Chain A
Amino acid sequence: MKRRKILSLIITVVLATSLLAGCGTKAKTDDTKAAIATDKAVKITMLNTKGEILTQLEAAAKVFTTENPNITVEIIPVAAGVSPFQKISTMYAAGNAPTLAMLDPNDIPKVADKFADLSAEKWVKDASAGTLDAGSVNGKVMSFPLAIEGYGLIYNKVVLDKAKVDPSTIKTTKDLEAAFAKVQATGVAPMVLSPMDWSLGAHFLTTLYMDQSKEVGSPEKFIGELKAGKVDLSTNTVFNGLMTTFDVLKANNLDKKSPLAGVYEKAAEHLGKGEAGFWFMGNWAWPDIKKFDTANGQYGFIPVPISNNADDYGNSQIYAGSSKFIGVDTKNNDANQQAAGKKFLEWLVYSESGQDTLVNKCSLVPAFSNIKLEIKDPLGKSINQYLTDKRAIPTIATLPGDHWAQVGASMQKYLDGKSDKKALATDIQNYWKNIK
């Protein structure tokens, strides 16, 4: 008798736990049940990996809910220093993936099997040329391009005017050096160079791959050769030219006494207050510069020159591409949530308040040609100008997940004077040789 009691007790416990375990991975993916009950309240989540627009997105979520009372959107932030891939893999491991996941382009192929195919969405037709490429897998659109972002050397027009420097005439490394000297003569630091590994690794150094040749697909080809160990960077013209420019930036850096101590927010302050003439950064920095703006919104980009020949590829171009993609999860979110997520994306592109969020509130350069709102922020405007002039080199979307951290660390070492060009070249070559 007693034995049976214990046995039944054990079975009950096992059953109860298996029930609990079931909760973790509920994946209601069968679309047959997609009789979407619009009258039912749906709660969706969105992972935001663009820290600078967090408050704007939270506000947009509230506006969206007032326009679509059945849907509430919760924005999930990610801590500084945690990569989007880190965050999304822990969320998937917990069986708690967000409905909408904002990721970097190179993450998309790895999560594509968990995302919904968005090829049939309305906004696909209105997307500007080339903006969907990095978010597509095998020809299917798997994610939504949130914004086009570009980077180069940002200048403060007021500082340059005082030094009598015309930014449009800077076309070579020598020009840049001369401009720096003129700015220096007015008693203002020519340049602030931010030491973050993502800025140096993911933005500055990647220009090395993109500037190699005008041909389409040349960055990928160059990376393939690096992986095969066939490239000797120390004799590569682009590498040497780029690092010569880097030395110029380094020598004119406001923080040169302690080059690794600079932080992003402080650099935005320096440029905004006119304490520095240039800053190597992208148009996402506008909200941060705006807080300290003393130049009445007169900022713009110039390219990072890589040689002393003005006609060389890369000397008159900046770098721009879709920087963040939003995918719709199908594993941890049911059909209603997926539909609500898609609705939110559509709302961003077609509704008045959605467009207002993208362009005015978040200062993004939208990837959709139907959005006619005038871009008000000077950096976005400058990027847009380069795009229409066809003077923007598309950014590479296929770098390995740890590229920015590893190569960024090598760049920091160089910036701190703890390694030379040769050691840096070897570091980069070794990094690529170990990538499978």
Chain B
Amino acid sequence: MGNEKSFWGKFKTFSIYAGPSTFAFLTVMIIPFIYGVYLTFTSWDGLSEIHKFIGFENYIAVFKDTEFWTSLGFTGWYVLATVIITNAIAFLLAYVLTTGMKGQNIYRAGFFTPNLIGGIILGFIWKFVFSNILVYIGENFNLPFFETSWLADPKKAFWTLVIVAVWQYSGYMMIIYVAGFMNVPKDILEAASIDGANGFKKMKSIILPMMIPSFTVCLFLSLQRGFMAYEVNLALTGGGPYKTTELISMHVYNKAFLSQQYGVGQAEALILFIIVATITLIQVSITKKMEVEA
């Protein structure tokens, strides 16, 4: 083998180890991405065989598309609600399920299960719950809160989306937090107990700082999933009532395929990508800085 220092030598070593994955990454991620960026400058309708180069017209159309910005704002609230509630519940569950209580493994598996159900099916199940079961209960037990379908009211429909997302993801995040709890060194906790630290003090000064890596991962995942949510949105509310619960992914998809303005839809997708990338990068860099060594 010999010459590891020459360019070809390095190239060969690289190709052997990382070649296949680099190739796959290039062909299924990078090249389509570049082609997608190119399409934002054309007037393609998604189906025809010709497309004209039209410069920045699509981007101008995006800035004029008020629905896009409304939908983005709505998505912002959705992400805020899901990230906070999902992580709070996941953390609490993880805390309870690492105290050594009876049957904690069964509980862990139970809370994780919703994550294994696909988004579309999940959406239909919950649609049935919100528009049939809850309404039935409301009518028969005189609970005005449930008497009308939550999916028919814009504000309540927002919360149905949040509830389902939290239910789906908190089990997954819980597993990550459980791993975080188990990685907190026992000797430090013991030392703290000997020094007279109470539960709250231990949580604040030892457990939380030691678990920052878990927070980094969980916040990143829940942020990214919140912005990219689509299937549950489609199956549960379908963007309704009257487009008030249309999350950004659904808006982009509808722009491209329903309104048949592929270029504009693609430009919106690119803007969305930039926004999500910026937010998650900032989040990761902040939480990374907060990490401490034991």
**Interface residue ranges, A against B (CB under 8 Å):** 2-3, 6, 13, 17, 79, 81, 83, 85-86, 88-90, 92-93, 110-111, 113-114, 195, 197, 257-261, 263, 400-402, 405, 409-410, 412-413, 416, 418
Complex Cα gap A81–B239 (Å) = 10
Residue of chain A at shortest CB distance from B23: A13
Cβ of B243: which chain A residues have Cβ within 8 Å of it? 405, 409
In the complex, how many angstroms separate the beta carbon of A382 from the nearest chain B beta carbon?
31
Complex partner residue of B46 from A89, A400, A412, CB under 8 angstroms: A89
**Complex alpha-carbon distance, A349 and B242, angstroms:** 40
Q: Are B242 and A413 in contact (CB under 8 A)?
A: yes
- Docked-complex contact A110 and B241, CB < 8 angstroms: no
A83 touches B12 (CB 8 A): no
Q: Given A81-B234, A85-B257, A263–B131 Cβ distance below 8 Å?
A: yes
Per-residue CB contact flags for chain B residues 142-169 toward chain A (1 = under 8 Å, else 0) read 0000011101110000000000000000
A113 to B50, CA, bound (A): 11
Q: Please, which residues of chain B bring their CB within 8 A of the CB of A400?
A: 259-260
Q: Given A258-B148, A260-B241, 5 other A-B contacts at CB below 8 A? A: A258-B152, A401-B258, A405-B254, A410-B242, A413-B242
CA–CA, A402 and B264, complex, Å: 14
In the complex, what's the smallest C-beta–C-beta distance from B101 to chain A, in angstroms? 41
Cα distance A3–B257 in the bound complex, in angstroms: 48
**Nearest CB in chain A to that of B257: its residue:** A86
Given contacts A110-B48, A113-B48, contact A412 B241 (CB under 8 A): yes
Are B258 and A405 in contact, with the CB atoms below 8 A?
yes
Partner of A261, one of B8, B47, B151, B260: B151
| A residues near B259, Cβ cutoff 8 Å | 400-402
The distance in angstroms between the C-alpha atoms of A258 and B145, with both chains bound, is: 13
Given contacts A6-B15, A113-B48, A405-B254, contact A260 B260 (CB under 8 A): no
- Whether A89 and B47, one on each chain, are in contact in the complex, defined by CB atoms closer than 8 angstroms, is yes
Q: A85-B258, A401-B259, A409-B243 are in contact. Are A92 and B47 (CB under 8 A)?
A: yes
Q: List 15 A-B contacts (CB under 8 A).
A: A6-B12, A81-B238, A85-B260, A258-B148, A260-B151, A260-B240, A261-B131, A261-B135, A263-B131, A402-B258, A405-B254, A405-B258, A413-B241, A413-B242, A416-B152
Question: What residues of chain B lie closer than 8 Å to A93, measured between beta carbons?
Answer: 46
A-facing mask of B5-28, CB < 8 A → 1, else 0? 000100110010000000100010
Interface residue tally for chain B (C-beta within 8 Å): 31
CA distance in complex: A363, B48 (Å)? 35
Is the Cβ of A257 less than 8 Å from the Cβ of B148?
yes
Interface assignment of B291: CB less than 8 Å from any CB of chain A: no
* Chain A, residue nearest B241 (CB): A260
Q: How far is the CB of B123 from chain A (nearest CB, A)?
A: 11
- Are A86 and B258 also in contact (CB < 8 A) when A17-B27, A261-B148, A412-B242 are? yes
Per DSSP, chain A at the interface is helix
In the bound complex, residues from chain B placing their C-beta under 8 Å from that of A6 are 8, 11-12, 15
* Among all A-B residue pairs, the 10 with the closest Cβ atoms: A258-B148, A261-B149, A260-B152, A261-B152, A409-B242, A86-B257, A412-B242, A402-B259, A413-B242, A409-B243
Contacts of B131 in A (CB 8 A): 261, 263
A90 to B243, CA, bound (A): 23
- What A residues does B8 contact at CB under 8 A? 2-3, 6
B11, B152, B240: the one contacting A197 at CB < 8 Å is B240
Closest chain-A Cβ to B256's Cβ sits at a distance in Å of 9
B49 on the A face (CB < 8 A):
yes
Q: Within 8 Å CB of A90, what residues of B?
A: 257
- On whether A258 and B258 interact (CB within 8 A), knowing A89-B46, A416-B241, the answer reads no
Residues of A within 8 A of B47 (CB): 85, 88-89, 92, 110-111, 114
Which residue on chain A has the smallest CB distance to residue B238? A81
Query: For residue A3, which residues in chain B have a CB less than 8 angstroms away from its CB?
Result: 8
Q: Which of B23, B45, B148 is close to A110, meaning CB atoms less than 8 Å apart? A: B45
CB distance from A397 to the nearest CB of B (A): 16
- Which of B153, B243, B258 lies at the interface centre, i.e. has the most chain A CB atoms within 10 A of its CB? B258
- Chain B residue contacts of A258, Cβ below 8 A: 147-149, 152-153
Q: Nearest Cβ distance between residue B168 and chain A, in whole angstroms?
A: 20
Known: A401-B258, A402-B258. A412 touches B148 (CB 8 A): no
* CB neighbours of B135 from chain A (8 A): 261
Whole-angstrom distance between the Cβ of B26 and the nearest chain A Cβ: 11
Which chain A residue has the least Cβ–Cβ distance from B47?
A89
Task: Determine how close the nearest CB of chain A comes to the CB of B55; give it in whole angstroms.
Answer: 16
| Bound CA span A127–B8, Å | 70
**CA A81 to CA B236, docked complex, whole Å:** 11
Docked CA distance A140–B186 (Å)? 80
Shortest Cβ distance from A10 into B: residue? B15
CA distance A418 to B152 in the complex (A): 12
Q: B227-240 CB contact bits vs A (8 Å, 1 = yes)?
A: 00000001000101
A412 contacts across to B, CB distance below 8 A: 240-242
Cβ-closest chain A residue relative to B157: A260
Q: Determine whether the beta carbon of A401 is less than 8 Å from that of B260.
A: yes
Min CB gap B147→A, angstroms: 8
Are the C-beta atoms of A110 and B260 separated by less than 8 Å? Answer: yes
Minimal beta-carbon separation of B293 from chain A (angstroms): 43
Closest-CB distance, A15 to chain B (whole angstroms):
14
Residues of B within 8 A of A114 (CB): 47
CB neighbours of A89 from chain B (8 A): 46-47, 257
| Chain A, Cβ-Cβ closest to B150 | A261
Tell me the minimal C-beta distance from B231 to chain A in angstroms: 11
